[in-house]
Structure 1
Amino acid sequence: MIEMITNAETLRKIQIEFGLTGSFKDRPIAEWLAKHNPSTLEYERAVENFTASCAGYSVATYILGICDRHNDNIMLKTSGHLFHIDFGKFLGDAQMFGNIKRDRTPFVLTSDMAYVINGGDKPSAKFHHFVDMCCQAFNIIRNNGNLLLNLFALSRRLKERKMASSGIPGMRNAVSYVQRSLLPGLSEDEAAAEFARMIQSSLGSRFTQINFFFHNLAQLRFSGDNSGGELLSFIPKTYTMQSEGRIKSVKVYGYQKRYDPEKYYIYILKVEREAQPDPVYLFRSYKEFCELDQKLCARFPLVKCYRLSSYHVGRSNIKQVAEKRRSDIERFLKSLLSLADEISHSDLVYTFFHPLLRDQQEADIHVKKFKGSVKESSISSPIMSNGGRLRGQLKLSISYARGALSIMVHHARSLPLILQKQRKEKQRSFGAVHTQLSWKWLVHL
């Protein structure tokens, strides 16, 4: 049975939307998902799908030793489901680049994937959930490891009967490879801790992104127009006056200074529509206005409209330039909306003014300087108990085997800092308790 997977794109094409070095940037996957999931509910569902599928493939590709993992062998659906293709290299048979092993991490996990899971560039409890899913899945497979090993052994024997003693390439040592990957000598807690270290190792390696970058270079000559018929590069669908409601007016309400991580300015538009009592506020960059201007000129070459200049000599991300560009945008909008309905109310214009995910997320339109919607969480601030005393949260697993008590710390958050005087008192009290314990009861962290 063959199933066609639709609405999917390779990781390379997603990343190169941010340029040839897009593999080193954190936002490409998140921006792509946001573009295809314009409502908050759709985006949150896509992130959940991405997190779960990323956890599943991390475990599966590690156990099976799937190699030759570059950004053209990993794909992503608009629904957020991540999946791998092209399994020509497996069971640790790594792709070589000369004498260099291209697959140098246990599995593919990059900073742009972590950005989606975390919901930003700061660590969050969502990543803890991702680690938990990976460790739970790994231990479930370990508990059913005999079934997996027997399937590999059976496949090898059947193939050897048909092809004498040749076997499938790489299949002869398949059982021993998978068995080693399952870490049979470790307990569940130890195996979970080891897989957590693999996550840290994969995420901390820059070689995966370097490998992606070299693959981008190699594919340059095969790259063509990837617009896919989109009216605008940052909006994948087409919207019309009938679906959106006729626009009465568009005004520049203001602009905000933002950081991503470099400083830039974004303009706030107040859009009023017929039969809609409340205006809608949109956030668009000057670059996006220039794209609209260029697309309008290409579609309606004979129409005279105020043109926006995409060139600027000197620094462009300063307040003086932002003020001038605001005036230019106001003239451009006034000129555009005064044109015939065929142009001013075309699908291209209504697609540009369609609300995106960033327009629906919380952002104070009155703020001049906006550094991102960073919400205070229990991770960054201590949690207060009812008595007013500080308390924290720990996720532990406790087991007792072979005369030893093991306590594994999975996650910790909101633990208050202990003052020097309190630390000494704690050490004295813990020391008194510790002397009463035998060496068999040492805690393994």
Structure 2
Amino acid sequence: MQVFISHASTESDIQLARALAAALRRADFSPWLDEERLPPGKRLEADLRAAMDTSASAVFLISGSWIESKWCQWELEQFGLRAPAPVLIALLRQPRDELARLLGPDLSALTHLDWRDDIKAPEECFWRLCCGLNGQAPGPQSEWAACGGAWWRGSTPASAAPPAQPALRESRMRGPYTAISTTCNRAKQWGLIVTHAALERHEVLALMGPRGFGHRQLLTRIAQGLTDPPRVVKEVSWADRRPDTLPDLLELLLHALTDYASPSGSIAAGVADQLKALLTSRNVVLLHPPIRGGFDRPALLEYYTSVLPQIVGTAPVTHHLKCVHPVEWLPASAGERVGATINEVLGTFTAPSPGSVETAAKGFVERMKTGAKPQMPVTILPVLDVVPPDELTEFAERLDLTDAQRARLLEQVRAVARTPDEIFEAIDDYYPEVRGIDQP
């Protein structure tokens, strides 16, 4: 998980930001700190915006200087525009009563932790910060120092890693809440993913379906659900540029594995070294962004049928690599027309015509499979489909809601949602609101 660190330019805040970045890195987070990541002479705003777009969470070091900084205020505003909202945590660098009159409503709504220069137990506060980022309860106070101490002091504890939890979304009504839609539908695909994750072999899992049919939802569930040790999940991101060549693709993979792109030397060698090092101690899952078009690009085929198999084929088989790659196409269905409802979507999908984007997408995946090496086969998961009304109802029945709350949630979702993506988003948007119905 990438964590954006927002801080003022005072010496004490800079020192804390550096210490936090180092400790977060030891705790298996991916901290984003400006002095480490911003190349001299590049456009500041564009680089900051790209960093915030790829950060799942942010930590704000709130001081009087931070509040007076236009850049810091702008960073908070940009995170406030994100949907779904990321996890945002404020570390108060001064007593709360001193900051109270300066804190606007946006800052007051954030989760706060006191972290002043004279803090007596930083390891306890750091453990609470890690738990907040992961959305988990910190446990007994007597254990906080032991859980967070090794990370904070500079070594890695043997068994204190906070388990990954469902990502938090920000509700304007009730504050952070769990994004529950990750468990809606997709039982067929999820069951196969769990089964294949346990297989003692390297593997590529191809996840196909029309655009808007929940690829991201399933990737999020993988990141949250496949956390049984020893396993690490890494996300390969190309939000700002699509890799059209193999060197570009390997550079982005290296960045995902190390948080830094190698400025010199062989990128391919760097990728091989990093993957082999990880695989000596844990299983590795690589999540890739959806492929949307350009199915004739040779770089991705070479990536999966040559480069990665060669790396894992020469590494000691202690642990295993799983690559998950969604492949999307624009649906040519009448159910995707503007104004169609969830019920109208059902039954409207037809077989792909020769030469269609769907045919090209499936052909690309078949070429991946036929060209795969024995040491890293390709498995094609069932195509993502619509969310049938009965499965949506069954999901709602599993929620901790009253009958009135459940009925209202289903009514709201069915009124606005057409595609699976819209269904999942509507569930997370309306869930905190319906929980207020019939409550004292």
- Taking structure 2 as the reference length, the TM-score comes to 0.19
Structure of greater Rg: 1
